[in-house]
């Protein structure tokens, strides 16, 4: 499993303007082959910061995701919003366990 995790800091006020665009890209991506889960959230302690969490079946599925038309639209919207910094990691995970047993 491939995990994509991290944060993207946007220009002041940009996060609120991206709500509908985030909903669009999340809904479209969750329909893709190989997508286990895909979500964005707002960091409650860092204004205008998107929290990214994605789970993919394979590197191939993640690579195919980057070529989807809705990702082109999303990347353009992020460009307009102004990403001022990001720390997003791609992690290949092995063993998986549930937190509560």
The Cβ-side half-sphere exposure at 19, using a 13 Å CA radius, reads: 3
pLDDT per residue as tens digits for the range 67-85: 999 999 999 999 999 999 9
Residue-range domains of the chain with CATH: 2-92 (3.30.70.100)
| DSSP state letter for 96 | -
Indicate if the pLDDT at residue 4 is higher than 70. Answer: yes
- Is 16 exposed, middle or buried (CB count within 10 Å of its CB: 0-12, 13-18, 19+)? exposed
pLDDT per residue as tens digits for the range 7-51: 999 999 999 999 999 999 999 999 999 999 999 999 999 999 999
* Coil/strand/helix, residue 93: coil
């Amino acid at each position: 499993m491939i995990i994509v995790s991290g944060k993207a800091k946007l220009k002041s006020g940009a996060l609120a303007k991206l709500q509908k665009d985030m909903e669009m890209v999340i809904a479209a991506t969750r329909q893709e082959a190989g997508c286990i889960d895909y979500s964005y959230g707002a960091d409650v302690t860092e204004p205008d910061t998107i929290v990214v969490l994605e789970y993919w079946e394979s590197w191939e599925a993640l690579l195919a995701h980057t070529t989807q038309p809705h990702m082109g639209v999303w990347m353009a919207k992020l460009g307009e919003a102004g990403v001022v910094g990001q720390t997003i990691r791609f992690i290949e995970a092995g063993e998986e366990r549930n937190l509560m047993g």
